[in-house]
Amino acid sequence: MRTTLKYPLTALLLLALSPFLTAKDEEKDDGPKKHESKWAKKLVEDPKVVEVEKDEAKKLLDALTKAVKTKEATKIVPAVEPLIEKSNEKFFKDLAKLAKHKNQNVRVVALRALGSQKEPAKKITSTLFGILRAKPFQHSGPTLAMAIDSLRRQKVDKKQVADEIESHFTKAKQPETMKAAVRYFGDMLMKDKVKKLIPWVEQPQPANPNSPTNPPASYWKRMWEIWNEIKETVWYSLETITGKDFKTRREWEKWSRSTEAKRMGID
């Protein structure tokens, strides 16, 4: 008598393999999940990068070499710009050199292009971190901001790097640098930075307006200017890290002391 199989052969194979497939799925871990923030649309969109073959890379580098020989920033910058959306390991050497250029516009575009490269990863990180710490560039907000932004795009979250970026944020001197730092904290999901961001949810102002020890009006004007520049990125990063969207500093401070926040790792 012919016996009829209850399951087709393919189904039997899947049943036999299901424990292994399940285990593999459970082992897969992409790390902490980002919360979608409505403030993301306010951010500058990261470039969409494609890897190019050696022939195209050579053409781009030849054009860049020609532009660099002119020593004119107005010619160098347009020659670097195509490398922002192109990736090839041959680009690194030229971009690393231009990242230290005396002209700020050249530095910034070279740093942005460096953030788009994949290889050599360690040298890219080292170059970006070196620019961030270099004394000659400490007063160039756009330079520091782009170094931070490219470190973010490279997904560098080493403690030494994060601490350096935090130090630039804490100084509260350059809005561009602070804004880049805030987005870095958010995209890297740095829960330990939440309480440092909360004071910037609302416009900074003296606790007691009538106190004689308050800083002068010029100080508060400067703080308002910084806050106005970074506020939407602060809101984005706090929501991205926590999934919360409180409107006031008081609400954020109250929640940050809650059991839920502690369970989340906010300290």
- What's the pLDDT at 206? 84
Distance from C-alpha of 41 to C-alpha of 113, rounded to nearest angstrom: 22
Domain boundaries, the chain: 47-156, 172-204+216-267
The pTM score is: 0.86
pLDDT band with cut points at 50, 70 and 90 for residue 253: very high
Distance from C-alpha of 81 to C-alpha of 109, rounded to nearest angstrom: 7
- What's the mean per-residue pLDDT of the chain? 89
**Cβ 80 vs Cβ 94: under 8 Å:** no
* pLDDT tens digits, 12-55: 444 444 443 433 334 444 556 778 898 999 999 999 999 999 99
- What's the pLDDT at 10? 43
Q: Collect all residues with Cβ–Cβ distance below 8 Å to 206 and sequence separation of at least 6.
A: 214, 215, 220
**Cβ 181 vs Cβ 254: under 8 Å:** no
Average of per-residue pLDDT across 150-159: 97
* pLDDT tens digits, 169-196: 999 899 999 999 999 999 999 999 999 9
**Cβ 221 vs Cβ 205: under 8 Å:** no
Q: Which two tokens stand for residue 126?
A: 């080292």
* pLDDT tens digits, 99-125: 999 999 999 999 999 999 999 999 999
3-state secondary structure of 87: strand
Neighbours of 237 (CB within 10 A): 28
